[in-house]
C-alpha cells in the first residue's frame, strides 16, 4: 500500500471514529440519586480513540512510535532526563525498587535483609517490591489530615541496615519533601517516590517525583491520565534508567529500542559473565528481570491524554476546593484534608476522616452514600500490617501506628476526577450533610 492510499483510508476511518465518539462519549444528563457518581474514572474522547485506532492500523502492536513520543513528551513536561513506560503503576514500583538492587550500584545496592522505611497507611504495591526483593519494610506512622509520613519519626527508624526510604505522595498530597530529602542525604539513603497518585502535583513550584533518586506513575483509568493499564518510571540518573530498562525488558543488558539493533556499535564485541567473547549483546542478561512493556495502542491513548493533562489538573483542584468549602461547617464531625506545607496538590481524591466526636460510624455513612449512587473508597489498605497477605511476613514496626489505625477505622474518600462537575459535587455535599 502506498503512503497516499494509507492516508486516504485512515482519514475515512477517522471520520467514522469521530461520529462514533460523538455518540459514545456524550455525557448524559445528571439525575440525583439515579446517576452514579464514581470515586474515580476516566475522561475519554475522539482524540484518544483516533490515536488508538491509528496505532492499531500500524500493525506494530508492541512499543513503537507512539510510545517513544509519549516518553519524550512526558519527560519534558516533568523536567526530567529519563522516563520509561511500564505496563502498570504497580510494575513501575517493582521496576524502580528493583533497579536499586543492581550489582552496578556496588556497596549502595539494596540486598536481602536491608531495611526500607515506609508507612503502613497506603496501597500494597508501594510495599510489595520491598518484600519481593527480600528487603525488610520498616513502618512508621502518618499524620492526619495530610495522610503522609510523620517526618519526625523517620530518623528514629534508621539503623545500620537502612538503605532506602520509599513513600507515596498520598492522594496527590506530597509528603514533607524537604525533610525527607535532607534525611536521605544525611544518611546516604535512596529515596523512591511513589508518584502514582500525584501526576501534576508540585512542591514549592517543582513537580513531585523529581526530588528522589527514582519515581513512578500510574495510568490506570482511575488516575490523572489513562492508557487503560500502564505506568512509568522516571529519573535523572542514567544508571538507574538503564537498569530500570533492563529489569523491565527481561533483564537484558542490551539497551536497543524495539526493532533496532547495534545501538552500542559493538554488538558482537562483548564479554560478560562466563559467556564467550563476542556473544550477541541482544541476548546477554545482566539482571533477573521481567517483561513489563506496554503496547503502542496504550501509549497512543496516553499521548492524547497528555494534551489534556493541565485541564484535568485544574479541574481536580477546583473540585477539591468546592468540596472543602462546602463541607467546612461539618468540621466538628469530619476532619477535612489539608495540603502539606509547600505542596500544590493535583488531588487524586478527597479524603475525609470521622472525628472522635462523630456519632455516625463510617460503614453507615458510606452505605448511605452508596444508596444515593455516590461512590467512595477507603484509604486503600488501612493498616497494611493487619492485611492477611502481610501476616507472618518479615517487617519491623518502628513507631506506634496510632493514626494509621484511626485511618483504618474512620477514613474514606470521595471522587474529584474531571468528569465530575458542580452539579454532581453539590449533590455529594447535600447527601453528606443530610447524614448529620
Task: Please list the active-site residues.
Answer: 223
For residues 248 and 95, the answer to whether their CB atoms sit within 8 Å is yes
For 4, 405, 421, 423, 427, the CA distances from 29, given in Å and listed in that order, are: 42, 40, 12, 10, 14
For residues 95 and 233, the answer to whether their CB atoms sit within 8 Å is yes
DSSP state of 228: S
Angle at CA of residue 363, ends 357 and 368, nearest 5°: 100
Angle at CA of residue 32, ends 26 and 36, nearest 5°: 55
Enter the C-alpha cell of residue 202.
508540585
Helices (H) and strands (E) in the chain, counts: 13, 15
Tell me which residue of 435, 427, 434, 428 sits closest to 362, measured CA to CA.
Answer: 435
Q: Is the peptide bond before 115 cis (omega within 30 degrees of 0)?
A: no
**Could you report how far apart the first and last alpha carbons of the chain are, in Å?**
67
- Strands 115-119, 136-140: parallel, antiparallel or unpaired by DSSP? parallel
For residues 82 and 236, the answer to whether their CB atoms sit within 8 Å is yes
- Four-residue CA torsion sign, 24, 30, 36, 42: positive
Enter the C-alpha cell of residue 58.
500500524
Amino acid at each position: 500500500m502506498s503512503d497516499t492510499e494509507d492516508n486516504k483510508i485512515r482519514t475515512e476511518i477517522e471520520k467514522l471514529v469521530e461520529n462514533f465518539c460523538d455518540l459514545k462519549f456524550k455525557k448524559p444528563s445528571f439525575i440525583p440519586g439515579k446517576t452514579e457518581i464514581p470515586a474515580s474514572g476516566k475522561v475519554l474522547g475522539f482524540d484518544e480513540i483516533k490515536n488508538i485506532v491509528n496505532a492499531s492500523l500500524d500493525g506494530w502492536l508492541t512499543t513503537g512510535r507512539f510510545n517513544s513520543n509519549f516518553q519524550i513528551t512526558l519527560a519534558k513536561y516533568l523536567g526530567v532526563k529519563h522516563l520509561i513506560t511500564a505496563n502498570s503503576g504497580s510494575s513501575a514500583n517493582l521496576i524502580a525498587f528493583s533497579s536499586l538492587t543492581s550489582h552496578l550500584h556496588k556497596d549502595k545496592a539494596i540486598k536481602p535483609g536491608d531495611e526500607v522505611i515506609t508507612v503502613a497507611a497506603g496501597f500494597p504495591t508501594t510495599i510489595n517490591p520491598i518484600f519481593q526483593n527480600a528487603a525488610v519494610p520498616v513502618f512508621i506512622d502518618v499524620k492526619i489530615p495530610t495522610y503522609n509520613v510523620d517526618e519526625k519519626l523517620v530518623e528514629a527508624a534508621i539503623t545500620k541496615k537502612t538503605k532506602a526510604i520509599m513513600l507515596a505522595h498520598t492522594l496527590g498530597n506530597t509528603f514533607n519533601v524537604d525533610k525527607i530529602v535532607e534525611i536521605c542525604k544525611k544518611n546516604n539513603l535512596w529515596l523512591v517516590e511513589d508518584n502514582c497518585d500525584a501526576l501534576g502535583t508540585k512542591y514549592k513550584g517543582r513537580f513531585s517525583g523529581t526530588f528522589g533518586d527514582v519515581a513512578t506513575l500510574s495510568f490506570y483509568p482511575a488516575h490523572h491520565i489513562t492508557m487503560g493499564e500502564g505506568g512509568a518510571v522516571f529519573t535523572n540518573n542514567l544508571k538507574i534508567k538503564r537498569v530500570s530498562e533492563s529489569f523491565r525488558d527481561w533483564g537484558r543488558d542490551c539497551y536497543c529500542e524495539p526493532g533496532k539493533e547495534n545501538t552500542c556499535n559493538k554488538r558482537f564485541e562483548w564479554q560478560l559473565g562466563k559467556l564467550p567473547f563476542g556473544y550477541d549483546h541482544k541476548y546477554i542478561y545482566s539482571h533477573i528481570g521481567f517483561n513489563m512493556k506496554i503496547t503502542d495502542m496504550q501509549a497512543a491513548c496516553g499521548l492524547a491524554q497528555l494534551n489534556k493533562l493541565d485541564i484535568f489538573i485544574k479541574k481536580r483542584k477546583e473540585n477539591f476546593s468546592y468540596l472543602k468549602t462546602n463541607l467546612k461547617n461539618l468540621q466538628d464531625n469530619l476532619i477535612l484534608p489539608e495540603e502539606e506545607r509547600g505542596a500544590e496538590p493535583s488531588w487524586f481524591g478527597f479524603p475525609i476522616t470521622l472525628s472522635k466526636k462523630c456519632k455516625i460510624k463510617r460503614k453507615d455513612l458510606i452505605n448511605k452514600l452508596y444508596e444515593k449512587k455516590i461512590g467512595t473508597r477507603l484509604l486503600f489498605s488501612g493498616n497494611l500490617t493487619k492485611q492477611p497477605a502481610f501476616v507472618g511476613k518479615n517487617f519491623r514496626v518502628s513507631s506506634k501506628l496510632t493514626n494509621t489505625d484511626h485511618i483504618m477505622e474512620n477514613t474514606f474518600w470521595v471522587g474529584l476526577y474531571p468528569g465530575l462537575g458542580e452539579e454532581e459535587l453539590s449533590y455529594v455535599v447535600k447527601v453528606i450533610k443530610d447524614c448529620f
